[in-house]
Amino acid sequence: MAMPTTVTSLQLCKLLCQRLMKIPHKILIRDKTKPISLLRQVYDAGHRCFGENYVQEVIQKSPQVQTSGGHFIGNLQSNKVKPLLTGVPNLAVVETVDDEKIANHLDRAVGNIGRKPLRFFVQVNTSGEESKSGVEPAPCLELVKHITVSCPNLVFSGLMTIGMPD
């Protein structure tokens, strides 16, 4: 999508949300593999909520597009937890927690570096597709219970899912 079209579409979406929805909302721009020059244009147009799939990219991009906190929306591996948290000190949320192991790693790392508690979403695989990450729906509640009870440095913010395309 060309840049003027992207900005125009973003502005239209924001206007529609303001008029049609009386609840707070945010539009998350997924910037997976997009060049920083394109992100700067969107940022300069007033957008502040970005989501990144890859740890290395969010570490490289976050200092160049200062936001109130980015979203990590990719599959997070245990060995990438500390680099993510130290490389992106203003990280607002991790949207892809899908098992106890990654939750425990996040909790320990947040505590060890002394940052404020980190918001997270539990990713649920509602489509059943093997190509998608996420906890199955049945054990989802147990995962949420484990994290809210055993991980004091994490703050549950909701569920995240990626639906099956039609």
pLDDT per residue, tens digit, the chain (166 aa), is 444 555 566 667 666 666 666 656 677 778 788 888 888 888 888 877 888 889 998 888 887 776 666 889 999 999 999 999 999 988 999 999 999 999 999 999 999 999 999 999 999 998 888 888 899 988 999 999 999 999 999 999 999 888 777 6
Residue 14's alpha-carbon distances to 8, 42, 100, 147, 148, in angstroms, are 10, 13, 36, 33, 33
Tell me the C-alpha distance between 21 and 154, whole Å.
29
Answer whether residue 6 is part of any domain.
Answer: no
17, amino acid identity: C
**Domain at 89, CATH number:** 3.20.20.10
Q: Which amino acid is at 7?
A: V
Whether 18 is covered by a domain: the verdict is no
- Asked if residue 17 is part of any domain, the answer here is no
Q: What range does the domain containing 71 cover?
A: 24-33+50-160
For the chain, what is the domain count?
A: 1
In a domain, 126, yes or no: yes
